[in-house]
Structures are given as structure tokens and as C-alpha cells.
Structure 1
Amino acid sequence: MFPQGLLPWGKFCRWSNPWMHFLALTIATFGVLAPLTCQQLLHSYFYVRRWYLNPMSQDFIQKNQEEGMKALRYFQQLQISNMPKTLVGGTLPPQVLLITIITVQRNLEFHYVLQVASRFHRLLQECGPPCQYHKILICNVDTDPDSHMDANLLARFFSVVKRYSEEPPEPPVNRFEKEKRDYIYCLVKSLDHYNPDHILLVEDDAVPEEDFFPVLHHLLQTRLSKSHLQDALYVKLYHPERLQHYLNPEPMRILEWLGIGMFCGPLLGFLYTRASRRSSLSWSILLFFAFYSMLLVELVGRHYFLELRRLAPSFYSIVPATECCTPAMLFSIPSAYRVLEYFHNLQCRQGFAKDTALYSLLHQKGEQAFVVEPNLVRHVGMFSSVRFNDHPKLI
């Protein structure tokens, strides 16, 4: 016989008690299965950094070098006589997307800009008629433009503008202000010489995903055609994966997180009641599975669940923009002129780079901006042209 005071604990420890099932499931999931299966997922809380970060970073650098050489061979094998320049100036037909690739010389062995340009060129060729009026412009903002060998190679295939061949050298400024002025120059050149409907400013280490154009066309024709999205100051096509968790300072994600709990909680609870042959779904069971699913998604990594949206262009989402980073930015023509006007009165510096400056305008000017999820480009540049880092890591 157990003492009277131990009876509640004994009742709790019975295997028929659902809370024993929940405890066992929680320990098995978060104590065993998830750590074992997710320890090499870079953007998961279960990622074992001390074991995998250095070898994964070195492997990424090696593969990036291989991709750079592959891109170099791509352009070397193109028959120049059969490939006229994609832009020769003048007015273009309506519904044109101008892809302006901003580039400076850095780490020649990686051929970053060749990786970006070759992928865009191949995707445009495969896209066919829907992309026949999409054009590429290379904007060389290196202070010694003639020494930028990759940009010189691309000049055989695309139109190239060179800031420091057209403008006198400017007085010394900090590198963040120079980056902003380079950005302005490329945007101005895109507007002055051509007549596109949208301008995509892409940095030279932002490689487009394979489904880039089908998704972008869907967004432009359906989602971004809505009145509340048409007037956006910009649309980001990339946000760092490490900043895509729910527990980040982007409150709009909390609703998505709660939605996962509201969907998965009843679903998993219903499956549990059927498996355990219970007569009904109680609130305690529903709430447990809601919190269980929310915790699982967050700890495994929101980034990996966002990848499920790549199944179809209509699954991609457009949400309010977050602050960091400008590898790929989409502007309508009216918004491009507003950005130029706003940037004219802003001075960038350490801690207030152009991405932070753009984000600050949303509140100062009453503007709105959006980001596409999941990312439509991959950021491959581990060696920044603004922030110096001799020993880069993936995170």
C-alpha cells in the first residue's frame, strides 16, 4: 500500500495518463530526435557550431571558388558573335524589368559578379517569351574600373556603365557613404538611359534562385499589382536566414507563429485522440500540441519551413520589410525617384549604412516596404566589400 500522500503522483505516473505521453514525446523530440537530426542545420538552434562551423565554412568557400570558375567558363564559351549586347540604350518596350548588377572588384578567384550574371543570363534564356524584354545592365563602381577584369569580360555581352570613368574622383568619404553614392549612381543610370517598369538592383554576390523569374512574374502580375503594394518604397528579395526566426524583433511574425499553433494543435490533437482511443479532444491536449508545434518550428528553424513555400509561386508570401541588408531590391519607377530624393539628404556612416538608412525612411516619410519569403536570391559573398574580414564564417 502507498501512503495516502503519494496517490496523486502514482496516478500521474500511470502510462494511461496523457501527460505521461506528452512528457515522453517532449523528451524524445527535443532531447533526442531533434538534436540528432538537426545538428548540421546551420540555421537551427540545434546546430553544433563548434563541430561543424569551420569545416562547413571552408567547404562553402571551396564550392564558391568552383562556382566562380564555372561562371568564368560559361562566358568564355559563349559565342560573342551570336550574342548581342542585351542593352544598347534608348526606350524599351513596356513591361520591362531592368536588372542592374552593382559590382566592385574583389577576390578575383571567386568571380562573384560572373556567378550572378551567368545565372541571370541562363535563367533569362530558359524563361523564353515572358522574359524577352528583361534586360541586364552592369554598373561598375570600382574606383579603378579598368582593372575590374570580370566587369571588362561582361562588357562583351552586356552594357556596362562605369562611375569613375564618367565622374571625377570625389573627396574622401567613409566607405558606407561611398556605398550609398554608388547605389545612387547605379539607380540614376538605370533611370536615365532606359525606360523600364521596374528596376532590380542586385549586388554582385546575390545569385538568383532557379525559380526566380516564375515567382517574380507571379508577384508582379498578381500580388504587387494591388493598390496597397504598388506604392511600396521597395520590395526586398532577400533577408538573412539567421534573422528569420520567430524570436526576432519583427512582431508581424508572431501572428504567423500563432497560426502554426492554431493549425497544428487541433490536427495533432485529433490524431492523438484517435491513436489513444479517447472520446474527445480536450483543451489541455489541444494547447499542448499547439505549443509543441510552435516550439518545434522555432527550434528546428523557421528558415527550413519557409522552404516549403517553393513548391509553387503562389505559396510565396509578402510581408512588411525588416531592416537588414540590400542584396536584391525591387523598385518601381515612382519609388526609385523617391529613394533618390530621400537619399540626397542622408549621410551614411558606421552603424548607419544604406540598408539602415532605407529602413529609417519608412518611419520618417510614412512609407511602406515589403520582403518576399522565402528568399529569391542566395547571398554567396563571404568577403564583404565594405566590412573587412580575413577569416569569414557562414554565420
Structure 2
Amino acid sequence: MLHRAWQFCGKWCRWSSPFIHLLTLTVVTFGVLAPLVCHRLLHSYFYLRRWHLNPMSQEFLEQNQQEGQDALHYFEKMQMPNTSDASGSDSFQPLLLITIITVQRRNDFHYVLQVASHFHRLLQKCGTHCQRHRMLLCNVESDPSSHQDVRLLSSLFPVVSRDRTAENPDPSLNQFEKEKQDYVFCLEQSLLVYSPEFILLVEDDAVPEEEIFSVLQHLISARFSKPYLRDALYFKMYHPERLQHYFNPEPMRILEWLGLGMFLGPVLAGTYCRAVGRAGPSWSLVAFFALYSMALAELVGRHYGLELRRLHPALYNVVPASECCTPAMLFPAASARRASGYLRGLRCRQGFAKDTALYSLLRAKGENAFVLEPNLVRHVGMYSSLRLKSNPKLL
């Protein structure tokens, strides 16, 4: 039976016209196979939002809540005296200072504990390669003593706090300007306390990926040999997956998309010709398979193709930064000083938050900034300190 089916398929491929072959391939791929395979992929155009979004969002919240409890138990089991000094008297100069900026949120998720526990574990795993890395907590809660998770972590890590309990509240201070001022405070305190060569400023809902330190080591030791990278204002470690499609304003992605088609077009056309016994691909066949592969990559989701770059640190993309967002940012020390000075001269508001403010500086000050792809942190904070949601969703 299988032998007869194979013979029939071979005769059909030889006798049918290429138009029928390619039309059938297109219909089967985009009408049947891709929707069946990708309907649960959150960042794919084939994602069935009506079917999956609510249960997936609820599942994510429950899992994240459990991870928060696991992080709480992680630190409760390893309480020890804090021998680190956050006063600036320590003569040790770290290569990389990981500063976690944190504010009190919902206690049941323990966001800052999740982030701190992952960094602590990865630092232990990294061993001698990360001996010159340090962690610092920057507590920007209006009443620092009310942040329970920081009180737990203060016995393990150095902490700096921005205490505003004695200050008269400024009625003109909106939440976006406050967030910017807190960001500048943590950046400047990082420089003051340890004077590191690099600062990784991480928000308290940005959990690091397993390979973060190997990628950062490669970035600092190898890629920073290029002056245009070494002198950049900042490096983003995260860009929202929903904004990582090829069909976006960023010109570098369009070039990448065209390059994908130029590579896969001839490869797939050659494979097709061998399968049907044709002498060689024509330009029309190459063009078809180029467009076919480009459409498939865009509709399935560029984000999933980027995941292949995690195989080795050298495969990570370093491309010009786009506007959104700031869960994890790497600043060389000199750039951190420039960035804090720039931000002090700007006032944030609705529609002009700190990420937009930082991005606006690139053109205004003639600076460069870059983003690493794929992301080096996972954004887990569905409950925002700025935009309160009673029923948050993954998208």
C-alpha cells in the first residue's frame, strides 16, 4: 500500500505542473500545518487568542506565584550575616555590578525574591568567571522599612534605600517622573557604592536567563573591542516578544528578513527541483520559495527563530536599540554617568516614561544604544507598579 502511494506521489510530482505543486504547498502549509502546529504559540500570528489567552494567563500567574514561594523558601533556608558593605568604603571594584531596583508590590508573588534568587544561583554556578561580579539592592519604596522582601534580603546583600518619609509630598510629581527619579537614584548609587566598570540595572520583575553571564562575558571581553559598542549609552537585555516580528519599523529587521529569504529561497528551490526531477531552479522558483520562507518565518514568529541563537554567546544579535522597554539595561560606567545627567534634565509624564526618555536622548545627544537578541531576562511582572490591573493578561 505504501509502495503504491509513493509511486502515485512520484508520478503526480512528475506529471503535475509546478503551479499545482506550489499552490498545494502554500495551501497545506498556511491553511493546515502551520495553524495546527502554532495555535498555542503566544507570539505567533496563528495563536488562537480566544481559545488560549485566558487559561494560559491564569496558568502563568499560578506558576509565577509558586515560583515566588519557592524563592521565599530559597532565602529562608540560607539566612546568614551580611558581610557586604554598601557605604562605599569597600575598596573592591567589581567588573559588573548587578543592581536590582525594587518597590513593594503584591506580597504573594515575591518578584524581587525571584530575581535575586535566580541571580544568586547563577553567580554560584558561574564560579570563578563571575568572581568580580556583585549584587546590590536599590529599595525605592517611599517607606523603605515597609518592603518586607528587602528586609529579608538585607541580611544577604548590600542595600541602598531612597527614604522619602521625611519629605513633603510634591503634588506635581507623577508616577512616571517618580519612576525616572528612582532609576537615576539607583544608577548613581551604583556608581557611588562600588564604582564598577559596568552596571546591570535590573527591575525587580526581570528574571535572568540561564546563559546571561556567559553572554555578558562574551559581550564585554570580545565585542567591546569595537569602539562604537564600547562607547554606547546603554545595552538593552530585553525587548517585548510581541514587538520582535520582522514587520516592524526597525530597518535592521527588514534586512534580516530579506537575508533569510535570499538564503532559503535557493536552498528550498534546489530541494524542490531534486524532488521532482527538474534540471535546476528558475528565478521564479527561487523568488517563490524566498517569499514562502519569509512569510512562514513572520507568521510563525521571529521570536521563535531567535531562540536558536542561544546555542552560543557569539550567535547573539547586537542591533540598534528600539524604544520600549527597560527591565534590564547594561551601562558602562562612563555611559551611566552621562545617562543619569541626561535624565536629570528631562521630566517624564504619561506617554513619555523613562524608556521613551532614554530613547529620545540618542538623537538629541548623538548617542548610540543597542539591544541583544534573544532576550537575556524574562519579564514576569504581570502586576505593574505603574499600571494597576485587576485581571492581567499575557498579551
The 1:80–1:95 alpha-carbon spacing in structure 2 relative to 1, beyond 3 Å, is closer
Other-structure match for 1:28:
28
In 1, distance between residues paired with 2:391 and 2:205?
Answer: 18
Give the direction of change, closer, same or farther, for the CA distance of 1:275–1:86 in structure 2 (3 Å limit): farther
String of CA shifts for 1:23-53, please: whole Å, max 9, x gaps: 0000000000000110000000000000000
| Amino acid of the structure 2 residue aligned with 1:108 | N
One-letter amino acid of the counterpart of residue 152, structure 1:
R
Distance 1:304 1:125 in 2: 29
Q: Which residue does the alignment assign to 1:325?
A: 325
Q: Aligned to 1:346, what secondary structure does the other structure show? A: coil
User: Where does residue 265 of structure 1 map in the other structure?
Assistant: 265
- Indicate yes or no: 2:203 matched with 1:241: no
- Structure 1 stretches (4+) deviating beyond 4 angstroms? 91-95
Could you say what secondary structure the match of 2:100 adopts? strand
Alpha-carbon shift at residue 248 of structure 1 (Å): 1.4
Match of 2:6 in 1: none
Q: CA deviation at 1:86?
A: 7.7
Quote the residue 2:118 is aligned against: 119
For residue 367 of structure 1, what is the aligned residue in structure 2? 367
Q: 1:289 maps to what in 2?
A: 289
**Whole-Å separation in 1 of the counterparts to 2:151 and 2:225:** 37
C-alpha separation between the residues in 2 aligned to 1:390 and 1:92?
Answer: 46
**How many angstroms does 1:96 deviate by?**
1.3
2:343 is the counterpart of 1:343: yes
* Structure 2 unaligned spans of 5+: 1-12
Question: Could you tell me how far 1:351 is from its partner in structure 2?
Answer: 0.2
CA distance in 2, matches of 1:193, 1:134: 14
1:182 match: 182
Is contact 1:99–1:135 with CA below 8 Å preserved after alignment?
A: yes
> Identity across aligned pairs (percent)?
63
**Partner Cα separation in structure 1 for residue 387 and residue 168 of structure 2:** 22
Does the alignment pair 1:68 with 2:71? no
Shift of the alpha carbon at 1:67? 0.2
What is the alpha-carbon distance in structure 1 between the residues aligned to residue 127 and residue 293 of structure 2?
42
Paired position in structure 2 for 1:159: 158
| SS of residue matched to 1:164 | coil
User: Residues 267, 145 of structure 1: CA spacing in aligned structure 2 closer, same or farther, 3 A cutoff?
Assistant: same
Assess if the C-alpha contact under 8 Å between 1:92 and 1:196 holds in 2.
no
Matches within 5 A, 1:1-395: 16-81=16-81, 84-85=83-84, 89-93=88-92, 96-164=95-163, 168-172=167-171, 173-395=173-395
RMSD: 1.6
With structure 1 as the length reference, what TM-score do the two structures score?
0.94
- Native 8 Å contact 2:143 2:165 kept in 1: no
The amino acid that maps onto 1:213 is F
Are the counterparts in 2 of residues 86 and 135 from structure 1 also a CA contact under 8 Å? no
Measured in 1, the distance between the counterparts of 2:43 and 2:84 equals: 40
Q: Secondary structure at the match of 1:128?
A: helix
Count of residue correspondences: 382
Distance in 1 (alpha carbons) for counterparts of 2:69 and 2:168 = 33
8 Å CA contact 1:196–1:333 kept in 2: the answer is yes
Distance 1:95 1:142, change over 3 A: closer
Measured against aligned partners, the alpha-carbon deviations of 1:224-247 in whole angstroms (never above 9, x if no partner) come to 331110110100000000000011
Please say if residues 14 and 276 of structure 2, whose CA atoms lie closer than 8 Å, have aligned partners that are also in contact. no
Provide the C-alpha distance between the structure 1 equivalents of 2:154 and 2:135, rounded to a whole number of angstroms: 11
In structure 1, distance between residues paired with 2:101 and 2:74: 20
In structure 2, the partner of 1:9 is none
Distance 1:94 1:77 in 2: 29
* CA distance in structure 1 between the partners assigned to 2:91 and 2:146 by the alignment: 31
TM-score normalised over the length of structure 2: 0.94
Kindly indicate whether the alpha-carbon contact (under 8 Å) linking 1:87 and 1:135 is maintained by their aligned counterparts in 2: no
2:20 is aligned with what amino acid?
Answer: M
**2:314 alignment partner AA:** S
CA contact (8 A) 1:15 1:21 kept: no
- Cα deviation code 1:132-163 (max 9, x no counterpart): 11001000000121111001101010011110
Counterpart contact for 2:200–2:331, Cα < 8 Å: yes
